[in-house]
A and B are shown apart, each in its own frame.
Chain A
Amino acid sequence: MPKIGLEVHVHLNTLKTKLFCSCSSDYINKDPNTNTCPVCLGLPGAIPVLNEKALTYAIMVALALNCEIAPALVFSRKHYFYPDMSKNYQISQYDGPGSMAVAKSGVLEITNKKIRIRRINIEEDPAKIIYPTGSMLTSKYTLLDYNRSGIGLLEIVTEPDIESPKEAREFLEKLRSILEHLGVCNCDMEGAMRADVNVSVEGGERVEVKNVGSIKDVENAIKYEIARQKAAIIQGLKVERETRHWDSERGISVPTRTKETDEDYRYFPDPDLPPYPISKDLIKKITAEMPELPDARVKRLVEQYGISRKEASILVMDKALADFYENTAKLYKDYKKLANLILNDYLRWLNDKNIRASESRATPEAIAKLLSLLDKGVITIKIVKEVLPEIVLKGADPDQLIKESQLTAIRDLEYLEKVVEEVIKEDKDAAEAAKNDPKVINFLVGKVMKRTGKRADPQLTNELIRKKLGV
C-alpha cells in the first residue's frame, strides 16, 4: 500500500484583511503591487499585528477537526531564501522550544476510515511568482507581485493515513465542505485550496510534490507518483527523498530542489509577535457559535426530507448544492423527486461543464416550477431533462422556455392513438415481438416519442400501445 500524507494550504479568504496587516484580502485581479504595505512587503522595522478573526477561524477549524487546541498562539520565523519572501522568513508556526502549532492531534472521518490530523498552523502566504515564459523551467528570471503576500493561510497536515488517490480526493472534498460550512474559505476562488502531497511506495523514500492547485490535480499527482515510483523500483532504481513540482499542463511531476535533507529553516519564536493566550472561555464561546457541520447536516437532511444517507452526503459535499436543495424544498414538497432531479440531472450538467453549484444560474423557483409542471402533466420527464441545461447554465425561466419551444406534453388521445397506429403498422415485426417482450414495447414507445419530438406522455403512450396490441 502506498502511504500518502497531505499538507493542505487553505486561504482564509473570507477575512477582510491580511493576516498581520490591514491591507485588503481582496487581491485577485488587482494591478501588481497595489495591495501592499511595509508589513507585507517585508520592509525592515515594520511590526506585524495578528488579525483577531484569523484566530477565531483557526479555532473553528481546529474544533471541526477534533483537534487539541494550544494554550497560547505563538508564531515562529521560518527562514528561507526565495524571491517570493523579501524578508527571508515566513511567519509560521513550529513545534519546538517556546513554540507550538495552534492545534494538533485531530481526526477527519471519511467513508469507513479515520484520517488523523497531525497539526494545524496559521501562516502567511508569500508573494506570487510569475514566470515570464509561463514555465518555471525555462524562465531566466521571475516577476513578483506582493498583492498576495501576507494573506492568512491555514496549513492542515495529515498523518500518512491515506492509501489511494481516491481516498485523498474524498478527504479533500470533505475538508472543503467543512471549510465552506464554517465560512472560513470560499473554496471556489483561484488558489483557495492548494496541497503539498507526500507519497511513498514500498521500498522507496518519501517524495513530496509541492503546490498542487486543485483536488483533481492532487488525485492525478498521486496517481502519477505511485506509477513513477513503482516503475523505478521495478527497474531496480532507488526512489530517494526529494521535492518535486507538479506540472498541471503536462500532468507530470518534475524534480526541483536537489538537496532536500540539507534544508534548515532555523525556526525561532518571532520576537515581533509575543504569545497570545487562548483562554478556555474563548474556546467555549467559539464552540457555542459553531455553525452546523457536514456530518450533522447529512443526518438532519435524512431525517427532515426522508432522502437516503448517500443522497444527503452527495448534496452536503458541496455546500452550495445542499443550500440549493433546501431552498428549493421550501417551495416544492416532493423531496425525494427533488433530490432525484438534483443529484442525477442537475449535478450531471454541473459536472459536464466542470462547474460547482455556486456557479449554477438556476434559481430554486425555477426548479420548483419545473417539477410542478411535470406533476401537473404539462410536460414530460423527457422535456424536464431537455430544458434543464438551459435553466442551469443560462438561468432560463421554465414557463418561458416551454412556451417558446412548444414543449408541452401531448396528452391528446386521438392524436396519440393515430401516431401509435402508424408506428405499429410500419414495424409489424416489432409489434408482433412486443406482445411477448416488454422491452420491445419500450422500443415502440421510443418511436412514438421520436415522432412527436419527445412530447408524447410516455406513460400514456405505453398504455395505448398495450391496448392496441391487446397485452
Chain B
Amino acid sequence: MSDLVDKLQRLSLIDLKEEEKERIGRDVQKILQFFNKINELDLSNVEPLFHPISQGKLRKDVAQSSLTQGEALSNVKRKENGFIVGPSTYGD
C-alpha cells in the first residue's frame, strides 16, 4: 500500500507528510475494497461499457467568436503582457 501511495503522490505532484501518507493509504484501501465488490459479480456474459451514450456528435467546421483577452484571463492570478505566467519547465 505504501508503494501505491508513493506512486500516487509522485503522479499528482504533491508532497505528503508521513501521517498524511498513512491516513490516505487507509482511505485508498477503503475505496479499492468498495470497488472490489464489482469483482464479486459474474460478468462473463456482459460486454464492457465505456460510455453510457452510444453515439457522440460532430460539429460543422464553422468558426464562431472567441473570448476577449480580458475574459480569458479574468481568473488568472499571474499575467504578463497578455500571457499567463507559468512555472519553469526545466529541471526538477
Complex alpha-carbon distance, A49 and B64, angstroms: 14
- Chain A, 265-282, CB within 8 A of any chain B CB: 266, 269, 271, 273-277
Please tell me which stretch of B16-24, B25-33, B34-42, B45-53 contacts chain A, meaning at least 4 of its Cβ atoms lie within 8 angstroms of it: B45-53
Complex Cα–Cα for A195 and B63 (A) = 28
Q: What is the interface size of chain A, counting residues whose CB is below 8 A from a CB of the partner?
A: 56
Cβ–Cβ < 8 Å partners of A37 in chain B: 66-67
Among B48, B67, B87, which residue has the most Cβ atoms of chain A within 10 A?
Answer: B67
Among candidates B48, B55, B66, B69, residue contacting A275 with C-beta atoms closer than 8 Å: B55
* Residue contact B58 to A55, C-beta cutoff 8 Å: yes
Report the bound CA distance from A302 to B28 in whole Å.
68
Main secondary structure on chain A at its contact with chain B?
A: loop
Is B59 at the interface (CB under 8 A from chain A)?
yes
Set of chain A residues within 8 Å of B69, measured between Cβ atoms: 31-34
Chain A residue numbers with a CB within 8 Å of B60 are: 52
Known: A52-B59, A81-B13, A275-B56. A36 touches B89 (CB 8 A): no
Nearest A residue to B61, CB-CB = A53
Interface residue? B1 (CB, 8 A): no
Q: Name the distance in Å between B53's Cβ and chain A's nearest Cβ.
A: 4
Known A36-B67, A98-B48, A269-B51; judge A139-B57 contact (CB<8 A): no
Min C-beta distance of A25 to chain B, whole Å: 8
Contacts of B7 in A (CB 8 A): 264
The answer for the CA separation of A83 and B76 in the assembled complex, in Å, is 13
The residue on A at minimum CB distance from B58 is A52
For residues 123 through 143 of chain A, which have their beta carbon under 8 Å from a beta carbon of chain B? Answer: 129-130, 136-137, 139-143
Separation of A383 and B51 alpha carbons in the complex (Å): 70
**Contact B51 A143, beta carbon cutoff 8 Å:** no
Q: Are the C-beta atoms of A36 and B66 separated by less than 8 Å?
A: yes
> Which 9 residue pairs across A and B have the least CB separation, nearest first?
A83-B86, A98-B50, A143-B83, A274-B56, A22-B64, A52-B58, A53-B61, A274-B53, A144-B84
| 18 A-B pairs in the complex with CB atoms less than 8 angstroms apart | A16-B61, A23-B64, A23-B66, A24-B63, A33-B82, A36-B67, A53-B61, A73-B56, A82-B89, A129-B86, A130-B83, A136-B90, A144-B86, A145-B84, A146-B72, A274-B55, A276-B56, A277-B55
Mark A residues whose CB is within 8 Å of B.
15-17, 22-25, 31-38, 41, 49-55, 73-74, 79, 81-83, 97-99, 129-130, 136-137, 139-146, 256, 258, 262, 264, 266, 269, 271, 273-277
Known A33-B72, A50-B56, A141-B86; further 15 A-B contacts with Cβ < 8 A: A31-B82, A38-B67, A41-B67, A49-B59, A52-B59, A52-B61, A83-B86, A98-B50, A136-B89, A140-B88, A141-B85, A144-B85, A144-B86, A274-B51, A276-B55
